[in-house]
Structures are given as structure tokens and as C-alpha cells.
Structure 1
Amino acid sequence: MNIVDRVRLGLAVGVAKTITAAVRVLGLGAASVLPGAISRRFHPRLLSLLCEQVKQGVILVVGTNGKTTTSLLLRTILEDQNYKVAHNETGANLINGLVTALLNKTNLIGTLTADYAILEVDENIVPLLLKDCQPRVLLGLNLFRDQLDRYGEVDAISQRWQTAIGPLSPETIIILNADDPTLSYLGQQLTQKVRYFGLSEPNLYLDEIPHAVDSIYCPSCGYPLTYEGVYLSHLGDYSCEKCGFHKSPLDLNSQDWPQILIGVYNKYNTLAAGLVAQELNIEKKPIFQTVKQFKAAFGRAEELTIKGKQVRILLSKNPVGMNETIRAVNDIKKMGKSSTTLLVLNDRIPDGTDVSWIWDVDTEPLVKLGGNLVVSGDRTYDMALRLKYSQDTLPEKNNHVKLIVKENLQEAIETALNLTTEAETLHIVPTYSAMLEVRGILTGRQIL
């Protein structure tokens, strides 16, 4: 690094740390984006310079669902082994958020002190990021339809990923979800070392393929895939009768592994983080110990106690995510431990401005179990209408759901809390910006 680069790096770091301190002292939030945005103006190669300094390597976590939870679990595993880890823990997964996370682990002259950097990455910026970052591990969790107004369909994202990953070093380890046909096929085209995780538990098969399914056609020849069983959306055990494409062999047995949190989707998150840890030469026993003690990331099955009531926040921002959330919530409702659910739908930039995806969500099972459904958010009435249609499909004698519409989010939260007993858990199901608002109201702290 020449003298000019060092001066510019030092200036960028100084500005970032000053902004971070100011935001936190003023109580404006976690300063997870703004420092990176401003510091990059002082040094355009800042991200590259920081990534090069990570001692043991950068781990990129990409995919539609599960990035924050998987990243936090992996970070916890590494920290339990006494490694120093840089991590964009607030979920700020665009370039500015990644830079901010790395800057937080530098000293005043820009020297990075982390052994590993775990960066959860928005799926749409993977090609851009890989121009400035040569990762040690790239972990692909899944690909679902998500914010079609921004990303397009999953096959287009997969093609961009393949083009971007192809030139990476042969030493880069690629870890993919074999249950996702698109990712399994992607891995079979790569020249790097590829490892696969997935489920081998037929008892977890769904009774039928859900409405919100994306990739039931062979990514090699386009012929309909034959599924032995489906775990969620299009993730399952499959093969193509026409060209012979099939699910890649797994590098671990999911039946041997414990699980973090609730829901089948969190079993995938556990396996993903666990396989990465094993590739980093960490033994199973300490991995399992961490898994059993793990606490949720904010908004991702995060549990809070508010006014003596138990609250669980379940971020749901696309059809697959919300279907799995409903599945998990219903399992708890069937045990009599929950009677009230608050759904908050926003249509801001972080959420995606097209909310038509809610009509791909199978809300009927949630409505069928009855109880209190409180609705709020910028698109309160869109969500209320979706639930009303589900309600109208039920016979009158089975219609035990109470639909409550509250445009004001604070009023909606208070209403939902009042309807929840101390023996129950209130489930809040928000989109991304709604989740930040909900947490801001419940905890008094926002995220910038």
C-alpha cells in the first residue's frame, strides 16, 4: 500500500469512526450503514483493502432467506473457539453495510484485527462484491422469489452468480443447499471445491407442494422434476427423468444434527453454518454445544419480554418465508401456547414495493386455526383483504378467527399484547422495514 493509499485509508477510517460515535452517542441507532457510505467517498477501494486484511479469510453468506440467522450462528461458533470475527450483525447487507462492519474492526490507522469476516450479502450484489472480495468460503443458502420488482426470477440470479463465481480462486470453498435444484445444478457446473448440505428426513415432508413454489423444473433441460418429497417450497428430494439431473450428494447427515430455534427453515440454517464450521476444521462436539445454546438474531425468531408478555418476532418478507412462519406459528397454536398473531405489511424499498406476493402465501392454515389476527403496516388493508378471502373459504361453523385492523402500528402492538395472556406467546410477523419499526417501538432502539 503506497503513502497516498495509507493517508486516504486513515482519513476514511477516521471519518467512519467519528460518524459511528456521533450516531450512537445521540441514540440514533446502531450506525450500521452511514459510516460505510460516507467513508467510501474518501477511498473508492476501501472494501477491497479491508477484505485483503482479514487474516483467516472472508466468509460470504448469500441467499434469499436465512442469511442473518446463519451468519450469527457461524459467528458464535467461531467466537466460541476464540476467533475474532467481523460481522454485519444488524443485517445491513449491501456494500455500505459490509464496509461499515469491517471498519468496526479496524484501529485508527485502518489495520483490521479480525481473524474471519462473516458477511451476509444481498443476493443481487454478489457479482459486484466478488470484484473486490476473494472469499475463502461462499455459502449459498437458497433462492426464492423475493422482491420481483428488484431482482427478477431465481434462474436469472443463479446465472449471474455462476458468471461471478466462475473466475474465483480454485481454493475458494463453495457450500450450497443441495435441496434447492437451482443451487445444486449451479454447484455441479463449478470448478471449485463444492460441498453440500440438506435434509435427509422424509418425516418432515410436506403433504403437498405449496402454492409458493419456484423451481420445480429441471435447471438442466427444463423438464418437470420428479419429487420424492418436499421440505419447503421447492426444496426437497428430486430428480429429472429426462436428463438424469438429480440432487447432489450431501456432505452431512441432517438426522445427526440438533436444531436452533423453531421451524424447518432453521434446520437448514443450522446445517449450513455447521458445514462451514467443519470446513474450517472445527470439530462436531463444540459446534453442537454452540447450537444448543444459540440465541436468535434480531427479528429472526427473536424472543422478547414486554410488559410481562412473551413476544416472538418472525421476519417474513416473501411467500416462502411467510409460509414457513405460518407453519411454525400453527405448530405452537396447536399446543395452546399462542392465540394472537400480529401481521405487519410494508411496501418500502427494503421490503419491495410490489406486495402482490401476499397472494402467493397460503394464509388459509393460519386463519383455519382461529384466534386473533391483528393487521397493521403501510399496506394494512392489502393484508386484511388477503386474510378476509381466506376467512371466507371456511365453513361458518369453523370460522373462529377474529380479524382486527389497526392502521397505527403502536395501537396494533398494544392491542395484540392486551389479547395475549402471560401463558402465551404473541407472534409478530413483519416485513423488513416493519420489523425495524416493531423493534423500535418494543425496545426503544432503531437501526441506522
Structure 2
Amino acid sequence: MSKLRFLMAIIVGKISAFLLQKIFKRGTNTPGAIMLKICPDTLSYFIMPETIICITGTNGKTGTSNLLTHIIQNSGKTVVNNSKGSNMDTGLASALVTKCTLDGKITADVAILEVDERSSQYIYTKFVPNYILCTNLFRDSIKRNGHSGFIFDKINDYLNEKTTLVLNGNDGISGLLGEDVCERVFFSVNKTEKSTDSCVDTVCDLIACPKCHHKLDYEFYHYNHIGVPFCTHCGFKMPESSFFASDVDFNKGTFVFNDNRGEKLVLPFQKGNFFNVFNITGACAVCRLMDIDIDIIANSIEDLSSKTGRFQENEYNDIKVISMLSKNQNPISCSQSFKYLSSTDDEKDVVLLITDSKDKKHGHEDISWLYDTDFKPLNMESVNTIYIGGSRCFDVANCLEIKGINTSKIVLFENYDELAIEISEKNVTGRNIIIYFELYATNIVKKIKKAMSQKEDK
């Protein structure tokens, strides 16, 4: 009966995926949701490819997953991934059904699957990944994720001994995953010119030793609790990294990737986006574990460095418009994104679309995360105007005032259409516009750019 249910799920899933692609021109998790209704064990019945890579963690999952897909495809292998759907079980089922036969055999060489941390029990119990890359673990949406320790357990409790974990050696939280269970390989980033002796960010999620609970010390901090932790009481420290980034040049936007075989690569990263160094290093570590040629890795990263949709540059009437996706409900993601402002002294206006742009049918929007976010870069002299959009614009403005941001710079718009018109009409030639937006505000960013382009055409 279960096999028959699975066959029915495959057929219905393929039909619904085809129709939705034709109608909406994009992927959704709807086919997977239907499949799991028909056959709850759908993910167990897929005949998976020889290599399965899962990417999880609080921040950087999507970018790392896309980078891995690009490199592995360039190595000549075919890939199935869930880049067009969600990272929960329904999204994975939706992705897999598009590349499988009627008996559920995946036709790709490699499966690269972004996995929501809280979905671990519904995914890792259905199939065993060869590799799980965990980018990091931070505080995230309080309503959904509680705290980083809670999410750690959600992942750790469902790991399989046959899986190799690729872990962030600068993260004393996620770096403890799979102890005494899995083979573990670490990647890290060496001390840089911007590393600090104390935590200068608003929050630090690891201040007590995870082993003895005494006060934890750090050789240095990169940001928040990411750095080199150690305990003088019990001797705790992170394992040595097999793969690491060194010689980070913030002016050039380059760093050196060092692998476990003594090979070195000079690689690019987006200026002002230091966290991308971790994402790239982690992706490269997985690729080298898979024996992908180092030249293929280098060429792929060079080729992809300017194509990411999460960081885009456009120009209208000599005005550069930079849009950056900043994860909603996530103070670390937003704080790191704001540091981009410090990478240039150019005159700039900032647009904040970081609170929910869509009304939720159930529940309410928690705004406590705003007070964990580091908004200091908004006080730079080069920032002229701060536009805040959406129904929560007054909450954001109140938070900025409490944090000492110059309120004379702030302009509020509850209506997104009015915001787009205002920005297009008040822009100044030679001044950059930097837009920070949450995932569901993509269409609002498009409205702003459309208004800018229409003015350019006049």
C-alpha cells in the first residue's frame, strides 16, 4: 500500500509541479505538500543519488547551497537542489520530484539540499546525507527558534554516524555538533585586520564554556561569538581546522583559501560582506572532500561572484542602487549586512524594508529582534537619509532613536508605493541608494527600481 501511495504521490507531484511552473513561472512547495499528504513517507522512498549534501545553519544556507551547486555542476556532475522551493520537507519533496523517474529514482548525480534547522528530524531520518555543512548557529526568530541551544539539539539529535559533518571552527556552538557520533571536518577564518579582542557587537551568544560553564575567553572575535574561543578552567578549545581562509584583504575583496592538501587559492568575496568568506570557505571544503579539482573551484567562484540575486547593483542616472537581502527576525544577519555601509565613504541614502512586508494570517510580528541588531553604521556621516517602509516603520524608528541614531535623517512611509515615488523623485545624482530588504519584500524593491528607471527614461 505504501509503495502504491508513493507512486500516486510521484504522479500527482509531477503534474502539480508542471502546472505551477507553467502558471506562476516559479517553484513552490505545493507539490511536496500534496505528496506528503498522499504518502507521509515520501522522502524515505526516493532512491537517492550516491552523493547527498545538506546545508543547514542560521545564516548563509542559501548562498552556500547555490555556490556548491554552481561548482559541482561545473565539475561535470548533474545536480538536483531545492533552490526554487522551501528548505523544509515539503520543499525537498517538491525539488526531488522534478528530477526522478516514476519509481522515485533521482536522475541527478548529486543532491544538494538546503535544510531548515528545525526540520532536521523530518529529513535526516528519511535518508542519510554523505555531508552536512553547518554554516553557524545564532539567535534567530524567537517565536520559532527560541535560542541557539534549542536549535543545536534539533540538529544534533538526528545525526547519523555515516554522515561527515563540515563545521565552522570559529563557532563554539555549531562546532560541537556530532561529537562522538560523526566524522567531523572543520573550516575557519584566520585573524584579520578587523578582528577584535572583545565582542563589539550588540549580542554574543556564547559567553560561558559549553563544557564547564565557566566564563569563556577568546583569542579574538570576528563578529558576535564567531572567533577563537577557549576556556582557562577546563581547557576547552575548538579542534584544528583542515580548511581555512587567510590573508583577508577588505580593500580588494579577496582572501586565500587553504585546503588540507597544502593547496592555496586566491578567491574573491563581495566587499563589505565578510560573512561570505565563511560561506565560500565552507563550500570549498565540501568540494575538496569530494575531490573536485581546485581550478574548477576557483573558476566557478570567480564566475559566480557577481551573479548573486541577494546582492545586486543597478545604475540609473549615475545613481547606484544596491539591494541586499537581510534575513528578517535575525539580528545577526541584519547587523552584518549593515557593516557594508562602512566599506565605502560615498554619499548614500539607506532604505530599510526589514520588517514583515506581508500580513500574517496567524500570530503577530515579534519586534524584539530589532533591539539585538547593531544599527551603528547608520550614524555614519555619509548616510544622508534613512527611509523606513511598512506598517512597522514607527517601531523601527523608535528602536533607532533609542539606539542613538540621528532622527533628523529618518523618513517614514507606511505605504510602499509612496516610498518608491519619494525615493525616485528625491534622489541625488552621484549619491548611492542602499536597500536592505527581507525575503518577501522583493517585489517592493522591484517597484523602487522601476520608479527609478522610469524617471531615467523621461
* CA offset digits 1:354-397 (Å, max 9, x no partner): 111101112122123331211012312111212233445x6xxx
Higher RCO, 1 vs 2 (CA within 8 Å, ≥6 residues apart)? 1
**Superposition pairs of residues 25-424 of structure 1, within 5 angstroms:** 25-26=22-23, 28=24, 30-50=26-46, 53-90=47-84, 92-107=86-101, 110-165=104-159, 168-170=160-162, 172-187=163-178, 189-206=179-196, 208-209=198-199, 210-255=201-246, 256-257=256-257, 258-262=267-271, 263-295=273-305, 300-304=310-314, 310-317=321-328, 318-332=330-344, 334=345, 336=346, 338-346=348-356, 353-369=365-381, 370-391=383-404, 402-420=409-427, 423=430
Report deviation, 1:319: 1.1
Report deviation, 1:80: 0.4
Distance 1:79 1:417, change over 3 A: farther
Within 1, Cα distance between the matches of 2:335 and 2:399? 14
Within 1, Cα distance between the matches of 2:280 and 2:315? 25
In terms of mean alpha carbon deviation, does 17-26 or 368-377 score higher? 17-26
Q: For residue 403 of structure 1, what is the amino acid of its counterpart?
A: I
Other structure's SS at 1:374 match: strand
In terms of mean alpha carbon deviation, does 431-440 or 314-323 score higher? 431-440
Q: For residue 13 of structure 1, what is the amino acid of its counterpart?
A: I
In terms of mean alpha carbon deviation, does 300-309 or 143-152 score higher? 300-309
In terms of mean alpha carbon deviation, does 434-443 or 402-411 score higher? 434-443
* CA offset digits 1:254-303 (Å, max 9, x no partner): 02222333411100100110101111111222111111121467652244
Q: Give the conservation status (yes or no) of the 8 Å contact 1:302–1:314.
A: no
Within 2, Cα distance between the matches of 1:352 and 1:71? 30
Within 1, Cα distance between the matches of 2:13 and 2:85? 18
Q: Give the conservation status (yes or no) of the 8 Å contact 1:178–1:250.
A: yes
* CA offset digits 1:208-242 (Å, max 9, x no partner): 41112211221111112111211111000121111
Distance 1:132 1:273, change over 3 A: same
Other structure's SS at 2:38 match: coil
Q: Please name the residue that 1:446 is paired with.
A: none
Q: Give the conservation status (yes or no) of the 8 Å contact 2:385–2:411.
A: yes
Report deviation, 1:316: 3.0
Q: Give the conservation status (yes or no) of the 8 Å contact 2:207–2:215.
A: yes
Q: Please name the residue that 2:251 is paired with.
A: none
Q: For residue 122 of structure 2, what is the amino acid of its counterpart?
A: L
- Aligned: 1:23 with 2:23: no
* Matched residues, number: 426
Within 2, Cα distance between the matches of 1:21 and 1:214? 44
Distance 1:303 1:436, change over 3 A: same
Distance 1:310 1:107, change over 3 A: farther
Distance 1:91 1:202, change over 3 A: farther
In terms of mean alpha carbon deviation, does 107-116 or 28-37 score higher? 107-116
Within 1, Cα distance between the matches of 2:268 and 2:364? 30
Distance 1:37 1:303, change over 3 A: farther
Report deviation, 1:305: 5.9
Within 2, Cα distance between the matches of 1:75 and 1:273? 9
* CA offset digits 1:133-175 (Å, max 9, x no partner): 210101111111101111111112213322211xx133x2111
Within 2, Cα distance between the matches of 1:7 and 1:430? 44
Other structure's SS at 1:254 match: strand
* CA offset digits 1:54-101 (Å, max 9, x no partner): 322211111000000000000000000111111111361111111111
Q: Give the conservation status (yes or no) of the 8 Å contact 2:323–2:437.
A: no
Q: For residue 356 of structure 1, what is the amino acid of its counterpart?
A: S
Other structure's SS at 1:197 match: strand
Tell me, which stretches of 5 or more residues in structure 1 are unaligned? 444-448
Within 1, Cα distance between the matches of 2:148 and 2:322? 33
Distance 1:116 1:385, change over 3 A: same
Percent identity reads: 26
Within 2, Cα distance between the matches of 1:193 and 1:121? 20
TM-score (norm 2): 0.85
Other structure's SS at 1:253 match: strand
Q: Give the conservation status (yes or no) of the 8 Å contact 2:268–2:305.
A: no
Report deviation, 1:426: 2.7
Q: For residue 365 of structure 1, what is the amino acid of its counterpart?
A: P
Report deviation, 1:352: 8.1
Q: Give the conservation status (yes or no) of the 8 Å contact 1:140–1:176.
A: yes
Within 2, Cα distance between the matches of 1:272 and 1:137? 12
Within 2, Cα distance between the matches of 1:191 and 1:67? 23
Q: For residue 315 of structure 1, what is the amino acid of its counterpart?
A: S
Q: For residue 246 of structure 1, what is the amino acid of its counterpart?
A: K
Within 2, Cα distance between the matches of 1:276 and 1:351? 39
Within 1, Cα distance between the matches of 2:447 and 2:86? 16
Distance 1:127 1:287, change over 3 A: same
Distance 1:91 1:437, change over 3 A: farther
Tell me, which stretches of 5 or more residues in structure 2 are unaligned? 247-255, 258-266, 451-458
In terms of mean alpha carbon deviation, does 231-240 or 251-260 score higher? 251-260
Q: For residue 191 of structure 1, what is the amino acid of its counterpart?
A: V
Within 1, Cα distance between the matches of 2:420 and 2:282? 34
